[in-house]
């Protein structure tokens, strides 16, 4: 058994001022340099000796890295180093991106969220990351900066597996763009932990829906799940059911069954795969029911 | 391993220090400044015993590097009372037995102060939610919540 | 017991909710805990290399790489201390020799100039092991072909009330044979048999274990430690290292939570052995949170098999119990937990025919230590559930069933002891009433179900029959009083209650009392240990005696001065007064300088120091074969908890809406502190009831972080916690007081389990009641019902 060290191992610290500096450090020390912003993942990994960087590059002070901008046309632009509390407090988030606010509310604890950043949460690419399913249902895109300049990665293509993201060597995450949500959109983020709040998700479900005359049920749904696959996942089959059939309890049950079938959870010390699967169904069902009520109220 | 020169304010006093990269803010406060009121309970940001105020917001000082606090304003439990006056929260904790062994109290008081600063009249649920990053094994949290409620009532 | 006479009258400030005297320091950051003490640049740090195997022989240790690492000052191994250590059964080396018995067993220690260097150097030590088959379950451990953990068990030094079985893994076997159990079964109309499981859990003090040891050039030892038992640590280390008790000084600052884990010796011994290698240098040894979960003590696991029989009118006739304690690799306290659970195996019930076997079984798990409740939460988990099941089979109301069968004053209990006055029936009535027992109330949502349940409990201080306390009071010029005690403030409020008792017994205002803290074995009076909820009672008795002793000295001087009879004098509010002449004089100054005789004929009196001690002298042996005796324990504290809860049937989550507790504390010296203990106990009971278990895979602990060992936070706590104090005075306690520190967590988990059954009709026999377990039980129930219809 590998016990964590009492403190943080040795490393060098540098706070980067420009994107170029970050990229060149990453290229120069591909194995030894790691980026950090809030440190709430990487410091733990370093104590556990899962990573042993010789150089930590603090990227949160780069220009624009913590900015939060909203424009009704283009949507929400979050600097990668915007802390979760900054985001949750922002009026546009409260008003237009309630799922994001809800996920942040369910995330860790207040003082941690003063350090934890949205970019760190996404880059860390944990299957249980709370903002993962949120980025998926809002169909966010991630702006990376690298040796070849800027590149935009759709959230759906960003997560590759536990701890693995789509950034290439020398690339870092600069910004996350959330498009303007569909008109009349409602949503719920339901997270299940072992205790009532503050745990990592055993399962979580993000349910979003909006009126859509182009589909038969007249509502388009987007469903995403965390902690039940190597990455956060969308559940297109369930979304299709909800678009096709009127939103009766039976339809919802079918969609929830589909979500359960799509999920591929594992057994671990936190929960069994069996329980997780059942919870996918329970949370999806409840989420859709609640969103239906919200939509009906709106309509 | 490099060291860095930092200048920061701790409990309204300016400090200048040379710190290694891997020194946490927690160890800096405890070992360099002998401000031992802030406690180490887990080193992983879970227990909240190391909570201090950094630029007006609570953070787990075990997950902040001392070098990151360059230019920051830090408030620890030792600075909560000032001008010879206890904070309203401290008074309430004394009166209502807001702590038993006392090990989690410094962090809790800092988080509670931050809560009342941003929300002077929190509901019981909001208080409990603000405490969810603080583990206390003695009190069952009952009197901690009551103390914070009393302090809010007494004008924060 | 003359000092107990004033059981009835309770002078100020007895019974008053005086604010804690330690709290100002604790809310300002002033309070010093062990890790807060400064030691200067000579301080060195110790880290320990631990066994990665649950069971193995050490073939070879190579420390050369570690020794040559810059900054390393010394390396120690089992070769550096060859005496066994242990409280009741000396079965452990400070550092392992030849054999490791659990994952985490200390194999070597490194002393270095920083914690990081010491830690790094530990990783450079090469150890060659021969891996052995482990014992990972107590049932496996008692089988004849099980691997033996302690082949030398027969040679170990053991306390006379503990009975190890050499040649097996059984470190203690305690028996109860009362009445005629075989003759009783046929008379029973209902017989219920169940097997219950309790996992290992950890105490989780927020301050992890820490000790700093310094050994001087003459071999004298100073140890600063976060300790519940400074005197026991002194004694155990003295015996293990062959150093006089007088040459070991233990200084124990405030303790950041103990709950039993900081009783006895764990890291302290290692710190001392490491410090011996670097004379003059203090060596600090602090457990990381991860180590805390499995390297100090854990609460033992338990498998309990229980059978209860009752007649159809609801009278329990017979109870048979087998306890298999998963004691772990060594048994610091486990052997006595085994004994205590045996002699308490009926719970607080009056049962004429009892058979119990309680086995303490060595396993290759972390060391089982004492934890709040000392075996009682573990055994009541089963007792209080099986009683509910019996009541159900009889179709009887559970409150009525308990009232019919519970112990009352004067009843003869399981070990043949006549019960002292107890207020258990009052506790049951008050707690059940507080949750509106008997009325069905609606759940808050369609996916929730509501239910109510209760559990009762008893617990005696479990300790050697002659565990003693002592105290002194020293008066200062301004008549403030330095109160010397050896009991430790671990959060329970003992300093405050001690001061209240001294104030009342001496007759001076409360705020004149100063506790002489920190406890320091060089100056403080002897106290056995801060465990067993015994301080208010035992140390309290010593304080009262010490205060009376000082009081008598003061009254004698003043009586002479006034030429009166001391019997007519009293001390009130710091004044000596005469009931006869109405004379009065402040005790200021005279308590140090004495009083002049008339006509300049010299002075009399002198600096006043009062002393007192207490040791129960009336605890008798129990027969080895039957577990019967006249008075096995000093007394039992009893109580009841009633729970009203909701279960989310979609997820299995339990939400406690209301938990009402009633405990018979004899006399609440400080009622708000009693309530604070009850609330804390409820919190810990609910947390261990719903969330906690140390999980193992092949003997390796899997969840040694707060991320995966969840404990209750403020959002998990019951919505309402009600605490009711019942006071039926104790014959041998100060003003009738008995302990209540541990008791509130004893009935919590089974009360929740009983309410769960009431809510959703499933019965879960293994702790904890995690959402997943509840959900799976509901799923199972739905399946069987589906099949049935
Ligand atoms: C007590 C505790 C509770 C937690 N609870 C939750 C929870 O409820 N839900 C949840 O989802 N998570 C939780 N976490 C995990 C963690 O807090 C989050 O993942 C957080 O958002 C990470 O952000 P950060 O800024 O701290 O990341 P960092 O630790 O700074 O970085 C995370 C990773 O991203 C890399 N990285 C950092 N910046 C960049 C960049 N700009 N470009 C590319 N890569 C980069 C780093 O190298 C590292 O691998 C918890 C952690 C702790 C300690």
CATH number of the domain that A54 lies in? 3.30.43.10
Shared-domain flag, residues C346 and C444: yes
Shared-domain flag, residues A144 and A97: yes
For the CA of B133, the closest atom of ligand 1 is 1
Q: Is residue C173 part of a domain?
A: no
Q: What is the mean pLDDT of chain A?
A: 97
Cross-strand bridge partners of residue A198: none
pLDDT at B39 over 80: yes
Q: Which of A40, A53, A145 has most ligand 1 atoms within 8 Å of its beta carbon, as the pocket-test mutant?
A: A40
Alpha-carbon distance values, B73 to B68, B111, C248, C757 (Å): 11, 16, 45, 53
Shared-domain flag, residues B16 and B62: yes
What pLDDT, on the 0 to 100 scale, is given for residue C6?
A: 43
- Residues C334, C369 contacting (CB under 8 angstroms): yes
What pLDDT, on the 0 to 100 scale, is given for residue C787?
A: 67
Query: Six-digit token pair at C676?
Result: 């604070």
Residues of chain A with pLDDT under 50: none
- Residues C658, C751 contacting (CB under 8 angstroms): no
Of C232, C252, C286, which residue sits at a domain end?
A: C286
CATH of the domain at A145: 3.30.465.10
Shared-domain flag, residues C335 and C406: yes
For C680-696, write each residue's pLDDT tens digit: 999 999 999 999 999 99
Shared-domain flag, residues C548 and C664: no
**CA B128 to ligand 1 center in whole angstroms:** 24
Shared-domain flag, residues B26 and B72: yes
Shared-domain flag, residues C270 and C375: no
For chain B, what's the residue count?
156
Separation of alpha carbons A42 and C715, rounded Å: 27
- Residues C641, C453 contacting (CB under 8 angstroms): no
Query: Six-digit token pair at C441?
Result: 């109330």
Is residue A163 packed enough to be buried (19+ CB in 10 Å), middle (13-18) or exposed (0-12)? middle
For the CA of A124, the closest atom of ligand 1 is 33
What pLDDT, on the 0 to 100 scale, is given for residue B156?
A: 83
In a 3-state reduction of DSSP, which class is residue C770?
A: coil
CB contact under 8 A, C710 and A192: no
For chain C, what's the residue count?
789
Shared-domain flag, residues B50 and B101: no
**CA A36 to ligand 1 center in whole angstroms:** 8
Shared-domain flag, residues C381 and C495: no
Shared-domain flag, residues A48 and A100: no
Q: Which of B26, B46, B134 has most ligand 1 atoms within 8 Å of its beta carbon, as the pocket-test mutant?
A: B46
Provide the number of structural domains found in chain B.
2
Separation of alpha carbons C28 and C454, rounded Å: 40
Shared-domain flag, residues C444 and C384: yes
User: Does A60 contact ligand 1 (Cβ within 6 A)?
Assistant: no
Shared-domain flag, residues A40 and A78: no
User: Does A35 contact ligand 1 (Cβ within 6 A)?
Assistant: yes
Question: From chain A, which residues contact C within 8 Å (Cβ)?
Answer: 1, 3-7, 9-10, 192, 194-200, 269-272, 274-275, 278-279, 282, 286
**CA A38 to ligand 1 center in whole angstroms:** 7
Shared-domain flag, residues B71 and B95: no
Provide the number of structural domains found in chain C.
3
Shared-domain flag, residues C369 and C239: no
Q: Would you tell me which residues 98-137 of chain B have a C-beta closer than 8 angstroms to some C-beta of chain C? A: 98-106, 109, 127-129, 131-137
What pLDDT, on the 0 to 100 scale, is given for residue C4?
A: 44
Shared-domain flag, residues A142 and A217: no
What pLDDT, on the 0 to 100 scale, is given for residue B1?
A: 63
C-alpha distance from B153 to closest chain A C-alpha (Å): 22
Nearest CA in chain C to B143: C676
For C391-428, write each residue's pLDDT tens digit: 999 999 999 999 999 999 999 999 999 999 999 999 99
Shared-domain flag, residues B69 and B98: no
CATH of the domain at C258: 3.90.1170.50
Q: Is residue B26 part of a domain?
A: yes
Confirm whether pTM is higher than 0.95. yes
pLDDT at C5 over 80: no
Shared-domain flag, residues A122 and A40: no
What pLDDT, on the 0 to 100 scale, is given for residue C708?
A: 97
C-alpha distance from C713 to closest chain B C-alpha (Å): 6
Shared-domain flag, residues C646 and C608: no
Separation of alpha carbons C640 and C687, rounded Å: 18
Separation of alpha carbons A4 and C675, rounded Å: 39
User: Does A132 contact ligand 1 (Cβ within 6 A)?
Assistant: no
Shared-domain flag, residues C107 and C83: yes
CATH of the domain at B22: 3.10.20.30
In a 3-state reduction of DSSP, which class is residue A5?
A: coil
Q: Which residue among B34, B81, B145 places its CB closest to the CB of C28?
A: B81
What pLDDT, on the 0 to 100 scale, is given for residue C698?
A: 97
Shared-domain flag, residues A194 and A294: yes
Treating both helix axes as pointing N-terminal to C-terminal, what angle do A273-298 and A249-262 enclose, rounded to 10 degrees?
Answer: 140
- Residues C680, B94 contacting (CB under 8 angstroms): no
- Written as one string, the DSSP assignment of C398-416 is HHHHHHHHB--TT-B-TTS
Q: Which residue among A5, A194, A195 places its CB closest to the CB of C119?
A: A5
C-alpha count within 13 angstroms, C-beta hemisphere, residue A148: 5
Q: Is residue C706 part of a domain?
A: yes
Shared-domain flag, residues B29 and B92: no
| pLDDT band with cut points at 50, 70 and 90 for residue C387 | very high
Is the torsion defined by CA of A71, A72, A74, A78 positive or negative? positive
Among C46, C713, C714, C779, the residue to mutate for chain A (most A Cβ within 10 A): C713
Domain containing residue C752:
298-463+621-788
| pLDDT band with cut points at 50, 70 and 90 for residue B2 | confident
Shared-domain flag, residues B16 and B64: yes
Shared-domain flag, residues B60 and B97: no
What pLDDT, on the 0 to 100 scale, is given for residue A299?
A: 66
CB contact under 8 A, C683 and B131: no
Alpha-carbon distance values, C741 to A64, C616, C637, C677, C746 (Å): 55, 20, 10, 6, 11
Shared-domain flag, residues A77 and A159: yes
C-alpha distance from B149 to closest chain A C-alpha (Å): 18
For the CA of A198, the closest atom of ligand 1 is 8
Separation of alpha carbons C485 and C535, rounded Å: 10
Which of C554, C536, C555 is closest to C485 using CA atoms?
C536
What pLDDT, on the 0 to 100 scale, is given for residue A168?
A: 97
Q: Give the largest CA-CA distance in chain B.
A: 50
**CA C629 to ligand 1 center in whole angstroms:** 62
Q: Would you tell me which residues 25-44 of chain B have a C-beta closer than 8 angstroms to some C-beta of chain C? A: 30, 34-44
pLDDT at C789 over 60: no
Q: Look up residue B29 and give its DSSP letter.
A: I
Shared-domain flag, residues A130 and A30: no
Q: Is residue C370 part of a domain?
A: yes
Domain containing residue B112:
88-153
What pLDDT, on the 0 to 100 scale, is given for residue C9?
A: 72
Q: Determine how β-strand C190-198 pairs with β-strand C210-215.
A: unpaired
Q: Determine how β-strand A12-15 pairs with β-strand A55-58.
A: parallel
Q: Over range C622-627, report the average pLDDT.
A: 97
Residue nearest atom 51 of ligand 1, based on CA coordinates: A40
For C77-135, write each residue's pLDDT tens digit: 999 989 999 999 999 999 999 999 999 999 999 999 999 999 999 999 999 999 999 99
Shared-domain flag, residues B105 and B45: no
Q: Is residue A207 part of a domain?
A: yes
User: Does A135 contact ligand 1 (Cβ within 6 A)?
Assistant: no
Cross-strand bridge partners of residue C285: C211
- Written as one string, the DSSP assignment of C472-538 is EEEE-TTS-EEEEE----SSS-HHHHHHHHHHHHHT--GGGEEE--SEETTTSPPBS-S-TT-IIII
C-alpha distance from C47 to closest chain B C-alpha (Å): 16
What pLDDT, on the 0 to 100 scale, is given for residue C788?
A: 56
Residue spans of beta strands (DSSP E) within C363-468: 368-369, 448-459
Q: What is the mean pLDDT of chain C?
A: 96
Q: Look up residue C729 and give its DSSP letter.
A: -
Shared-domain flag, residues A84 and A158: yes
Q: Is residue B83 part of a domain?
A: no
Q: Over range C240-257, report the average pLDDT.
A: 97
Q: Over range C266-290, report the average pLDDT.
A: 98
Percent of chain C at pLDDT > 70 equals 99
Q: Over range C227-245, report the average pLDDT.
A: 97
Provide the number of structural domains found in chain A.
3
Q: Which residue among C291, C650, C771 places its CB closest to the CB of A3?
A: C291
Shared-domain flag, residues C744 and C641: yes
**CA A43 to ligand 1 center in whole angstroms:** 9
C-alpha distance from C691 to closest chain A C-alpha (Å): 7
> What backbone torsions phi and psi does residue C51 show, to the nearest 5 degrees?
-65, 135
CATH of the domain at C508: 3.30.365.10
Q: Look up residue C236 and give its DSSP letter.
A: H
For C14-32, write each residue's pLDDT tens digit: 999 999 999 999 999 999 9
Shared-domain flag, residues B9 and B57: yes
Long-range contacts of A293-297 (CB under 8 A, 24+ apart): A294/A186, A294/A188, A295/A184, A295/A186, A295/A209, A295/A210, A295/A211, A295/A219
Residue nearest atom 12 of ligand 1, based on CA coordinates: A129
CATH of the domain at A235: 3.30.390.50
What pLDDT, on the 0 to 100 scale, is given for residue B130?
A: 98
Separation of alpha carbons C176 and C379, rounded Å: 15
pLDDT at C642 over 90: yes
Is residue B145 packed enough to be buried (19+ CB in 10 Å), middle (13-18) or exposed (0-12)? buried
Q: Determine how β-strand C190-198 pairs with β-strand C301-310.
A: antiparallel
Output b/e per residue, C589-628; b: 16+ Cβ within 10 A. ebbbebeeeeeeeeeebeebbbbbbbebeebeebeeeebb
Nearest CA in chain C to A199: C707
User: Does A39 contact ligand 1 (Cβ within 6 A)?
Assistant: yes
Nearest CA in chain A to B132: A109
User: What ipTM does the predicted assembly reach?
Assistant: 0.98
Shared-domain flag, residues B53 and B29: yes
| pLDDT band with cut points at 50, 70 and 90 for residue B135 | very high
For C29-44, write each residue's pLDDT tens digit: 999 999 999 999 999 9
- Written as one string, the DSSP assignment of C73-93 is EEEEEGGG--S-B-SSB--B-
CATH of the domain at B131: 1.10.150.120
pLDDT at C584 over 80: yes
What pLDDT, on the 0 to 100 scale, is given for residue C600?
A: 87
| Stretch among A290-299, C250-259, C377-386 having the lowest mean pLDDT | A290-299
Region for residue C468 given its phi and psi (left: phi exceeds 0; alpha: psi -120 to 50; beta: otherwise)? beta
- Written as one string, the DSSP assignment of C195-221 is EEEE--B----SSPPEEEEEE-TT--E
Shared-domain flag, residues C87 and C225: yes
CB contacts of B130 in chain A (<8 Å) are 110
Is the torsion defined by CA of C528, C530, C532, C537 positive or negative? positive
What pLDDT, on the 0 to 100 scale, is given for residue C3?
A: 41
Separation of alpha carbons A41 and A173, rounded Å: 16
Shared-domain flag, residues B67 and B107: no
Shared-domain flag, residues A43 and A85: no
Query: Six-digit token pair at C284?
Result: 């600090």
Of B77, B112, B135, which residue sits at a domain end?
A: B77
Domain containing residue A198:
186-298
C-alpha distance from C122 to closest chain A C-alpha (Å): 11
Q: Is residue C182 part of a domain?
A: no
Q: Which of A11, A50, A64, A108 has most ligand 1 atoms within 8 Å of its beta carbon, as the pocket-test mutant?
A: A108
Query: Six-digit token pair at C132?
Result: 């052995």
C672 contact B CB<8A: yes
Shared-domain flag, residues C577 and C535: yes
Contacts of residue C787, Cβ cutoff 8 Å, sequence gap at least 6: none
**CA C571 to ligand 1 center in whole angstroms:** 65
Helices and strands in chain A: count of H runs, count of E runs: 12, 14
CB contacts of C284 in chain A (<8 Å) are none
Q: Is residue B65 part of a domain?
A: yes
């Amino acid at each position: 058994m590998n016990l964590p060290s009492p403190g943080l191992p040795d490393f060098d610290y540098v706070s980067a001022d420009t994107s170029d500096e970050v990229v060149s450090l990453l290229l120069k020390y591909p194995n030894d340099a790691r980026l950090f912003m809030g440190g709430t993942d990487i410091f733990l990994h370093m104590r556990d000796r899962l990573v042993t960087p010789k150089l930590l590059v603090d990227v949160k002070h780069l220009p624009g890295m913590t900015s939060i901008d909203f424009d009704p046309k283009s949507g929400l632009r979050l600097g990668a180093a915007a802390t979760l509390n900054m985001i949750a407090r922002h009026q546009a988030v409260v008003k237009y991106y309630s799922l994001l606010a809800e996920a942040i509310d369910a995330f860790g604890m207040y003082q941690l969220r003063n350090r934890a950043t949205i970019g760190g949460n996404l880059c860390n690419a944990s299957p249980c990351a709370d903002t993962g399913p949120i980025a998926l249902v809002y169909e966010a895109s991630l702006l990376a900066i690298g040796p070849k300049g800027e590149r935009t990665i759709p959230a759906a293509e960003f997560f590759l597996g536990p701890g693995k993201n789509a950034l290439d060597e020398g690339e870092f995450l600069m910004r996350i763009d959330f498009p303007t949500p569909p008109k009349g959109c409602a949503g719920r983020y339901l997270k299940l932990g072992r205790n009532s709040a503050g745990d990592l998700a055993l399962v979580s479900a993000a349910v979003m829906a909006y009126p859509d005359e182009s589909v038969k049920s007249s509502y388009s749904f987007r469903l995403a799940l965390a902690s039940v696959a190597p990455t956060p996942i969308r559940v297109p089959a369930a979304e299709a059911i909800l678009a096709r059939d009127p939103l009766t309890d039976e339809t919802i049950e079918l969609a929830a069954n589909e979500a359960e079938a799509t999920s591929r959870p594992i057994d671990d010390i936190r929960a069994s795969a069996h329980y997780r699967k059942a919870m996918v169904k329970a949370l999806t069902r409840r989420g859709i029911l609640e969103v239906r009520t919200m939509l009906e109220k709106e309509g | 391993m490099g060291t860095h020169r930092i200048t920061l304010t701790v409990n309204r006093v300016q400090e200048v220090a040379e710190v290694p990269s891997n020194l946490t803010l927690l160890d800096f406060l405890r070992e360099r400044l002998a401000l031992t009121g802030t406690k180490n309970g887990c080193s992983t940001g879970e227990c909240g015993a190391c909570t201090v105020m950094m630029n007006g917001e609570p953070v787990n000082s075990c997950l902040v590097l001392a070098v990151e606090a360059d230019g920051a304003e830090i408030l620890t439990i030792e600075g909560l009372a000032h001008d010879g006056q206890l904070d309203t929260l401290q008074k309430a904790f004394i009166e209502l037995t807001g702590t038993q062994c006392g090990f989690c109290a410094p962090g809790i008081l800092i988080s509670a102060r931050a809560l009342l600063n941003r929300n002077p009249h929190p509901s019981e649920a909001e208080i409990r939610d603000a405490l969810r990053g603080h583990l206390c094994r003695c009190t069952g949290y009952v009197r901690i919540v009551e103390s914070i409620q009393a302090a809010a009532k007494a004008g924060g | 017991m003359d000092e107990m006479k004033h059981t009835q009258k309770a002078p100020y400030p007895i019974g008053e909710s005086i604010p804690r005297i330690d709290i100002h320091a604790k809310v300002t950051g002033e309070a010093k805990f062990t890790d807060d003490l400064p030691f200067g640049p000579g301080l060195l740090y110790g880290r320990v290399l631990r066994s990665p195997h649950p069971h193995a022989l050490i073939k070879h240790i190579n420390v050369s790489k570690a020794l040559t690492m810059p900054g390393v000052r010394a390396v120690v191994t089992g070769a550096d201390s060859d005496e066994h250590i242990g409280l009741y059964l000396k079965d452990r080396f400070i550092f392992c020799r030849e054999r490791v018995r659990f994952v985490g067993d200390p194999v070597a220690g490194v002393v270095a100039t920083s914690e990081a260097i010491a830690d790094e150097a530990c990783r450079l030590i090469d150890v060659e092991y021969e891996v052995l088959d482990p014992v990972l379950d107590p049932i496996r451990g008692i089988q004849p072909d099980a691997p033996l953990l302690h082949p030398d068990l027969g040679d170990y030094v053991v306390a006379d009330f503990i009975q190890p079985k050499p040649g097996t893994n059984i470190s203690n076997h305690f028996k109860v044979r009362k009445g005629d159990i075989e003759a009783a079964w046929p008379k029973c109309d209902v017989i219920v048999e169940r097997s219950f499981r309790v996992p290992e859990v950890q105490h989780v003090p927020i301050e992890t274990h820490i000790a700093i040891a310094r050994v001087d050039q003459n071999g004298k030892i100073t140890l600063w430690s976060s300790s519940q038992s400074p005197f026991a640590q002194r004694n155990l280390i003295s015996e293990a290292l062959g150093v006089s008790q007088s040459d070991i000084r233990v200084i124990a600052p405030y303790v950041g939570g103990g709950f039993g884990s900081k009783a006895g010796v764990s890291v302290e011994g290692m710190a001392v052995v490491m410090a011996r290698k670097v004379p003059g240098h203090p060596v600090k040894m602090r457990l990381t949170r991860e180590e805390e979960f499995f390297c100090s003590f854990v609460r033992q696991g338990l498998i309990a098999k229980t059978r209860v029989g009752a007649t159809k009118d609801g009278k329990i006739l017979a109870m048979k119990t087998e306890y298999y304690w998963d004691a772990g690799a060594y048994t610091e306290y486990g052997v006595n937990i085994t004994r205590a659970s045996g002699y308490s195996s009926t719970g607080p019930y009056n049962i004429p025919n009892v058979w119990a076997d309680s086995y303490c079984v060595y396993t290759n798990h972390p060391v089982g230590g004492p934890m709040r409740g000392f075996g009682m939460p573990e055994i009541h988990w089963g007792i209080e559930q099986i009683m509910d099941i019996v009541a159900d089979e009889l179709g009887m109301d559970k409150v009525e069933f308990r009232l019919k069968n519970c112990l009352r004053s004067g009843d003869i209990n399981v070990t043949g002891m006549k019960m002292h006055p107890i207020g258990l029936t009052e506790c049951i009535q008050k707690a059940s009433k507080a949750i509106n027992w008997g009325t069905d109330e609606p759940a808050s949502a369609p996916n929730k179900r509501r239910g109510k349940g209760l559990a009762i409990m008893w617990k005696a201080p479990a300790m050697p029959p002659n565990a003693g306390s002592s105290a002194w009071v020293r008066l200062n010029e301004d008549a403030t009083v330095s109160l010397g005690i050896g009991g430790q403030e671990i959060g329970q409020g003992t300093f405050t209650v001690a001061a209240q008792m001294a104030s009342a017994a001496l007759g001076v205002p409360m705020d004149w009392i100063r506790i002489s803290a920190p406890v320091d074995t060089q100056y403080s009076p002897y106290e056995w240990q801060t465990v067993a909820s015994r301080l208010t009672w035992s140390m309290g008795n010593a304080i009262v005696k010490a205060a009376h002793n000082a009081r008598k000295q003061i009254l004698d001087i003043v009586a002479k001065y006034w030429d009166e009879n001391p019997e007519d004098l009293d001390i009130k509010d710091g004044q000596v007064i005469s009931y006869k002449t109405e004379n009065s004089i402040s005790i200021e100054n005279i308590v140090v300088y004495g009083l002049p005789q008339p006509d300049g004929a010299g002075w009399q009196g002198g600096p006043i120091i009062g002393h007192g001690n207490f040791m129960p002298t009336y605890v008798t042996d129990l027969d080895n074969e039957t577990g019967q005796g006249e008075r096995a324990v000093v007394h039992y504290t009893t109580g009841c908890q009633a729970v009203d809860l909701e279960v989310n049937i979609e997820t299995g989550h339990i939400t406690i809406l209301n938990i009402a507790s009633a405990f018979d504390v004899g006399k609440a010296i400080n009622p708000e502190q009693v309530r604070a203990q009850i609330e804390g106990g409820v919190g810990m009971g609910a947390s261990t009831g719903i969330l906690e278990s140390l999980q193992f895979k092949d003997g390796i602990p899997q969840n040694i972080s707060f991320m995966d060992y969840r404990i209750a936070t403020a959002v998990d706590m019951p919505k309402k916690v009600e605490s009711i104090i019942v006071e039926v005075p104790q014959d041998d306690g100060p003003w009738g007081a008995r302990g209540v520190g541990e008791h509130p967590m004893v009935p919590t988990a089974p009360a929740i389990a009983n309410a769960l059954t009431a809510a959703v009709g499933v019965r879960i026999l293994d702790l904890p009641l995690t959402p997943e377990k509840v959900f799976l039980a509901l799923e199972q129930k739905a399946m069987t019902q589906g099949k049935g219809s």
